[in-house]
Chain A
Amino acid sequence: MIEQIYPYLILIGSTIGAVMFYLWRQARRVSKLNLALIRLNEQHQFDTPAFLRAAWEPLSRAGLQGISWRLDWFGIPVEGQAGQLKGEEVFREIRVREMAVAVTLFQKKRQGERHYFNESLIETFLLLLRTDMLIKAGATDASLAQMAKLNLFLQHDMKNIAQFIQFTADHLQGAPEGSEQQVLNYLRTATPLIRERADRIVRTLKGGQPQNNPLRPYRLQDEIEHLCDLHRLDCDIQGTVDMLAPEHTLDSVLDNILKNYGDFSQPEYGLRPLVHVGISENGNSVDITFESQQTPSDIPLERLFEPFWSSSPDGLGIGLYQAKQLLEMRGGKLGVQRKDNGALQFRIALPGKIINEGHMQHKGTPTF
């Protein structure tokens, strides 16, 4: 009895096998086309207009008849088409902020599995378009926010410099007779401070990369003490090293790190945050650690070196990023970690020539 149904069972099995094989091949083909679309989008760096122009090739391989699109890109309308504009239409409009795209895809009328395979491919294509537009919107927002932040900083700093120039002119013009020496004293005190500020602005504009960066002798303890005072920090400094280091690199790095302790700490007014500083020689470089427990515990460490991220509404968020870049350009390192006792620790490895004790000259002397 059972022998009689063998041929049927074989036939049914073969049919199922053939159908499975067919579906497997179709699925594989569609999967490859989906991947091709994704790769193509990556090649065009997620740029909607470029991707839209190049997408017809993989879409045509999927058996689509044609495509027409209308793009409104920040107020500029552009249109395009490819293939034959006939058959069943799939129309979709995507709008993200000042970008809009209306796409019509043309396909042969398909039934069953082919309809679903094509639908999957079309949806992938549309999803990629939408994602590209959202990426663009995000990037545009971020750029505008960064520009606004930078503008705010520059405007404030430039106004202060303009005010300084105004005061200097007023001093020079209106100094009462006999008070010239006094005016000179005011200028002597204030001019280096404004020069420091101007240098900082220039460094910010250049992305932290100074043009002239001569080596200068440093007594690290003195340098750090001076900056701590400037940022109203109480610094407990252990160890000292005299070294030759690139002038603007060291200034900029130390300044940015200490400024951040001031920003993070936000102490009760009148109380200066305490920062422990350790300085030690390590072969041909110097290790400097900065540590303070007066920092919020919720600072996300991974964001600290991200450009234009700041924990403070007042921060530009570029300082630490620049400091890290500057150090790495010189073969140094800058790292950050949260210690077991909760202290936020920055660690610098700064390559440079160590000067033996007794050979240290006053800053800026031409000995070196």
Chain B
Amino acid sequence: MANQNKILLVEDDLALRTMLRGILELNGYSVAEAGQRSEALGQLRADPAVEVVILDLGLPPFTHQITEGIQTLKQIQAEILPVKVVVLTGQDQEAAALEAIREGAFDFLAKPASAETILGAVRRAQLFQQKELELNREGITRINLNVQVSEGMKGVRSDAEERLVRQVLKETGFNVYQSAKRLGVKRENIYYFMKKFGIQRDD
């Protein structure tokens, strides 16, 4: 596997970013940096070696709100980027934590957090990420779903199917034959799901 210790640090405050980069680098991590959403997503798409993202929710242009950070999380989930996200934020803790967890954050830390706490969260995230990749190699795919229980099993099944098909297609580089093989279904089924869920190669 490529570099096992690569972290992406998404923080718009340059002073904090420099200091946190220092802490991570001195603890053996290789650190990539981004100051806003597009930059962060661009780096994640380009560099699959990144295992953990430390994400500040207050990103430009709305540095005093959580919208940009949450949007970043949503896009990471939607694109099924293989990373764990540790949120480190100074925004309103209750609301921010709820939103971040809903959108698939692995951990949530409120500023100010000690280096030890951050490093602990990063190590846990890294461990989970690595173990999930191991499971993946054994043919087991973990999927994250937010389900509305009141909507019943049908909705859950449909969401799970969609998520699973998307994830497997992404993992196989959109190879329908391999995806069908991994899922133990016919190729026609994959085409059916792609049509049903509107999955396109660009997704």
Cβ-Cβ contact count across A and B, 8 Å cutoff: 96
Task: Assess whether B19 is in contact with A167, with CB atoms less than 8 Å apart.
Answer: yes
- Bound complex: CA of A182 vs CA of B115, how far in Å? 16
Asked whether, in the complex, the Cβ of B60 is within 8 Å of the Cβ of A163, the reply is no
B39→A270 contact, CB < 8 A: yes
Verify if B45 is at the interface (C-beta below 8 Å from A).
no
A73 at the interface (CB under 8 A from B): no
Give the chain A neighbours of B20 by CB distance below 8 A: 167
Interface mask (A147-166 → B, CB under 8 Å = 1, otherwise 0)? 00000110110011011111
A179 vs B24: C-alpha distance when bound (angstroms): 13
From B106-114, B128-136, B138-146, B166-174, give the one contacting chain A: B106-114
A8 within 8 A of B: no
B111 in complex: contacting residue of A153, A162, A183, CB < 8 Å: A162
Question: Which among B8-16, B177-185, B186-194 touches the partner chain?
Answer: B8-16
Interface residue tally on A, bucketed by range: 35 or more
* Residues of B with C-beta under 8 A to A170: 23, 114-116
Is residue B21 within 8 Å, beta carbon to beta carbon, of the partner chain? yes
Q: Which of B15, B65, B90 contacts A314 (CB 8 A)?
A: B65
B62 touches A313 (CB 8 A): yes
**A163 and B115 contact, CB distance less than 8 A:** no
In this assembly, does A208 line the interface, its C-beta being within 8 Å of a C-beta of chain B? no
- The 8 A CB mask of B143-158 against A (1 = contact, 0 = none) is 0000000000000000
Q: Is the CB of A163 within 8 A of B113?
A: yes
Nearest chain A residue, comparing its CB with the CB of B110: A159
CA A155 to CA B39, docked complex, whole Å = 26
B39: which A residues are within 8 A, CB to CB? 270
Instruction: Return chain A residues, CB-CB under 8 Å to B36.
Output: 269
When distances are taken between beta carbons in the complex, the residues of chain A under 8 Å from B15 are 160, 164, 190-191, 193-194, 197
Report chain A residues within 8 Å CB of B111. Answer: 159-160, 162-163
- Whether a CB of chain B sits under 8 angstroms from the CB of A24 is no
B16 touches A163 (CB 8 A): yes
Q: Once the chains are docked, how many angstroms separate the CA of A214 from the CA of B58?
A: 34
- B120 in contact (CB, < 8 A): no
Is B48 an interface position by the 8 A CB rule? no
CB distance A171 to B63 under 8 Å?
Answer: no
Question: Are A160 and B60 in contact (CB-based, < 8 A)?
Answer: no
Report the bound CA distance from A152 to B91 in whole Å.
Answer: 9
Q: Does A232 sit within 8 A of B, measured CB to CB?
A: yes
* Contact status B19-A152, CB under 8 Å: no
Q: A194 CA to B16 CA in the complex, in Å?
A: 8
| Interface of chain A: mostly helix, strand, loop or mixed | helix
B3 on interface, CB distance cutoff 8 Å: no
Kindly state the interface size class of chain B when it binds its partner. Answer: 20 to 34
Contact status A162-B112, CB under 8 Å: yes
Q: When chains A and B are docked, how far (Å) is the Cα of A108 from the Cα of B16?
A: 76
Tell me the complex Cα distance, A153–B18, Å.
Answer: 22
User: Does A263 sit at the interface, judged by CB under 8 A?
Assistant: yes
Cα–Cα distance between A179 and B23 once the two chains are bound (Å):
11
CB-CB < 8 A to B64: which residues of A? 152-153, 156, 314
A52, chain B: closest CB distance, angstroms = 41
A197 to B19, CA, bound (A): 15
B22 and A182 contacting across the interface, CB-CB below 8 Å: yes
8 Å CB interface, B94-121 against A:
111-116
Q: A183-B26, A269-B36, A270-B38 are in contact. Are A164 and B61 (CB under 8 A)?
A: no
Find out whether the CB atom of A156 lies under 8 angstroms from the CB atom of B58. yes
Interface status of A266 (Cβ within 8 A of chain B): yes
Q: Which chain B residue has the least Cβ–Cβ distance from A230?
A: B14
Contacts of B14 in A (CB 8 A): 190, 193
Question: Contact: A164 with B19, CB < 8 Å?
Answer: yes
Assess whether A186 is in contact with B18, with CB atoms less than 8 Å apart: yes
| B19 lies within 8 A of A186 (CB) | yes
Interface centre among B16, B20, B36, B37 (most CB of A within 10 A): B16
Complex contact B90–A159 (CB within 8 A): yes
B42 to chain A, nearest CB (A): 8
On whether A263 and B16 interact (CB within 8 A), knowing A170-B115, A176-B26, the answer reads no
Residue in contact with B22 in the complex, picked from A171, A263, A269, A312, CB distance below 8 Å: A171
Q: Ordered nearest first, which 10 A-B pairs have the shortest CB separation?
A: A159-B90, A269-B38, A186-B22, A170-B115, A193-B15, A167-B19, A190-B18, A194-B15, A163-B112, A162-B112
Known: A160-B13, A179-B26. 17 other contacts (CB 8 A): A152-B64, A160-B15, A160-B111, A163-B90, A166-B112, A167-B16, A167-B19, A175-B26, A189-B18, A190-B14, A190-B18, A197-B15, A266-B61, A312-B61, A312-B62, A313-B65, A314-B62
A contacts, CB < 8 Å to B: 152-153, 155-156, 159-160, 162-168, 170-171, 174-176, 179, 182-183, 186-187, 189-191, 193-194, 197, 232, 262-263, 266, 269-270, 312-314
Question: Can you list 15 contacts pairing A with B, beta carbon distance less than 8 Å?
Answer: A160-B15, A160-B16, A160-B90, A160-B111, A163-B90, A163-B112, A164-B16, A166-B112, A170-B116, A182-B26, A186-B19, A190-B19, A262-B61, A269-B37, A270-B38
